[in-house]
Structure 1
Amino acid sequence: MRTATRWALVALVLVVAGVVALWPRSDDRASPGPAAVERPTQDLGAARGLAALRPCPRGGPDGPAPLRGVTATCLGDGASIDVATTVAGGPALINFWATWCQPCQEELRVLDGYAQEPGAVPVIPVQVLSGESDGLELLTKLGVHLPSLYDGSDALRKVLKAPPNLPASFVVQANGSVIQVTSPLTFSTPDQVREAVE
């Protein structure tokens, strides 16, 4: 076989392979869309058991007007919950955190310590911008058992117009108003938390 004939055969094979690769398929398999590339839903029961989080508070039907209708997942049991009911009656502290945020990890320990003191107002950590299973794993590792929410859609942060930097904390007053804590930006002692919520 001459060299020109060999190259012609190689070119023909490449053309046929290209046509086969691009030919539309009509079989039952759907092309992978956004849902197909997401991680499969996990059974988080074991992770929830290890984390042993305290139950999410569920107050009266009302709560701060801006928070009504905003839902999040209770990390402790996986139930969908209206955020307004978790802080109904105020005062309460809402704290946004993510697993990759190093200052958040230290602050979560401080918040847990404060929440165990007599007379402490409810502290509601809200995990954002990170995976639910990762959050449960981190809380287990830190030994933090605060009742916590998971805001996968970031809806609560948007409603409160929270800054992009984490951690970020907000005090829900008894009258329903919500105020961002700006001093300090990150709690390092339970005394700082107490001063912010009073």
Structure 2
Amino acid sequence: MRQFPVAWRWALAGLIAVIALAAALWPRGRDTDTTADNGQQARSSAGISEQQRSAANLAACPRPAPGTAGSGPLAGIPVSCLADGGAVDLAAALAGKPALLNLWAYWCGPCAQELPYLQQFAQRAGNAITVLTVHSDPDEAKAISRLTGLNVKLPGVLDADARVRTAVGAPAVLPISVLLRADGSVARVEVRAFTGVDDIANTVAQELGVAA
């Protein structure tokens, strides 16, 4: 009779040890699996499929000539091309030709009204000036979807952290059009939506001397 309580105590201690070990190991394995699953879902939701890019049919982004180094306030600012997801050295890609950069976002109503005018202006101006859209929001999928819905095919880049706006000293509003000289310097920051193709053409002619 004296040994029975001792045996019970050893059995109870062993059971507690087994339960504690199982409790310690089980959450770790589950947390690891959950973290891995969440990471995989985040990567999947952030990706843009080739089908989405193909459906948008955006014009290719400008690329720098070999050995070209960009200058001006946009020098050293990397962005990604909406057409193919590739990296773009913005200042270098725009060097040597006047440019109109239109800063916009998928959620901006006035931007949606203005973008078709910019496309018409680009068609009218031809090779005299580079017209480039700059999506100033990190949601690339919605940017591509918005351009597809508007049937706007202009070359565009993603500026997820609005470094372009900061570099040219523009306020935190949209849309904004940045007129760049061929040497990369800023001729004007237009903080408004253009009202039509002629409005764009007149502003570009006045600030950059490019007739269209």
* Pairwise TM-score range, normalised by the shorter structure: 0.7 to 0.9
Residue 81 of structure 1 aligns to a residue in which SS? strand
1:8-23 matches, within 5 Å, as none
Residue 149 of structure 1 aligns to a residue in which SS? strand
Contact 2:114/2:195 (<8 A) preserved? yes
1:26, CA displacement in angstroms?
A: 3.6
1:196, CA displacement in angstroms?
A: 2.0
Contact 2:74/2:90 (<8 A) preserved? yes
**Cα distance in 2 for residues equivalent to 1:64 and 1:104:** 28
1:118, CA displacement in angstroms?
A: 4.0
Which range moved further: 52-61 or 102-111?
A: 52-61
**1:101 and 2:103 equivalent?**
no
* Other-structure match for 2:12: none
Opposite residue 49 of structure 1, the aligned amino acid is: S
Contact 1:44/1:133 (<8 A) preserved? no
Picking from 41, 46, 51, the partner of 1:46 is 51
Picking from 125, 148, 151, the partner of 1:143 is 151
Q: CA offsets per residue over residues 155-174 of structure 1, 9 Å max, x none?
A: 22222222111000111112
* Other-structure match for 2:208: none
What TM-score, normalized by structure 1, do the two folds share? 0.78
* Other-structure match for 2:73: 66
Q: CA offsets per residue over residues 60-111 of structure 1, 9 Å max, x none?
A: 3222332122111100011011111231113100110000000001111000
* Other-structure match for 1:165: 173
**1:77 and 2:81 equivalent?**
no
1:185, CA displacement in angstroms?
A: 1.5
- Structure 1: 5+ residue runs without aligned partners? 1-22
**Cα distance in 2 for residues equivalent to 1:171 and 1:99:** 21
Residue 77 of structure 1 aligns to a residue in which SS? coil
Q: CA offsets per residue over residues 28-58 of structure 1, 9 Å max, x none?
A: 63486xx858563324211110110111011
* Other-structure match for 1:134: 142
Residue 62 of structure 1 aligns to a residue in which SS? coil
Higher helix content, 1 or 2: 2
Seq. identity, %: 35
1:169-180 matches, within 5 Å, as 169-180=177-188
Contact 1:72/1:82 (<8 A) preserved? yes
Larger radius of gyration: 2
Opposite residue 148 of structure 2, the aligned amino acid is: T
What TM-score, normalized by structure 2, do the two folds share? 0.73
**1:190 and 2:192 equivalent?**
no
Residue 55 of structure 1 aligns to a residue in which SS? coil
Contact 2:138/2:161 (<8 A) preserved? no
1:122, CA displacement in angstroms?
A: 1.0
* Other-structure match for 1:29: 31
Opposite residue 72 of structure 1, the aligned amino acid is: V
1:191, CA displacement in angstroms?
A: 1.5
* Other-structure match for 2:133: 125
